[in-house]
Amino acid sequence: MVHVREVAVGDAAAVVRLAAELGYALDESATRERIARPAPGFVTLVAQADDGAVVGMISATERTSLVAGHRVDIESLVVTDARRSGGIGAVLLAAAEAWARERNAPRVCLHSNVLRERAHGFYLAHAYTHVKAQYFFEKRL
């Protein structure tokens, strides 16, 4: 059993560990700062096990754009490897969807790396539709 709650500054080390399971190297100090001062319209929820361990997280952003309209984007969803396939991801996804409904967002969107085939099956099983494949570009400034 897990309890879902908003992330707290004391969760920074757990967030860094979970992000590493997705392949992202986060700086703990910078993560602590981001948790302490979240951007407007942004939420990170964590799944906490009965023993107090943070075993999963989901981050989402509310946005409105000229082309896409109003929506919530899931930026990350991860459950620690030892606890995957136990329903925690579904609980986190449902919590983020509830957060989106509270903001009257008509849809929830997400990007998933082409290599994460297991995740694709998870999203399809939770009524998400594969809309398109695309490239992601970046320019460092």
pLDDT digits (tens, 9 = 90+) for 75-129: 999 999 999 989 999 999 999 999 999 999 999 999 988 888 889 999 999 999 9
Cα–Cα distance for residue pair 6/47, rounded to 1 Å: 9
Residue 16 in any domain: the answer is yes
3-state secondary structure 66-117: CCCEEEEEEEEEEECHHHCCCCHHHHHHHHHHHHHHHCCCCCEEECCCCCCH
Residue 27 in any domain: the answer is yes
Of the pLDDT bands very low, low, confident and very high (cuts 50, 70, 90), residue 74 is: very high
Residue 55 in any domain: the answer is yes
Residue 116 in any domain: the answer is no
Residue 136 in any domain: the answer is no
Q: What's the pTM value of the predicted model, to 2 decimals?
A: 0.91
Number of domains forming the structure of the chain: 1
Say which CATH number the domain at 82 has.
3.40.630.30
pLDDT in tens, 99-112: 999 999 999 999 98
Residue type for position 127? A
**Confidence at residue 113, expressed as pLDDT on a 0 to 100 scale:** 85
Strand partners, 98: none
Residue 133 in any domain: the answer is no
* Mean pLDDT across the chain: 94
**Confidence at residue 135, expressed as pLDDT on a 0 to 100 scale:** 86
Write the CA distances from 90 to 26, 68, 77, 103, integer angstroms.
25, 25, 10, 20
The residue range of the domain holding 80 is 2-109
Residue 75 in any domain: the answer is yes
Residue 49 in any domain: the answer is yes
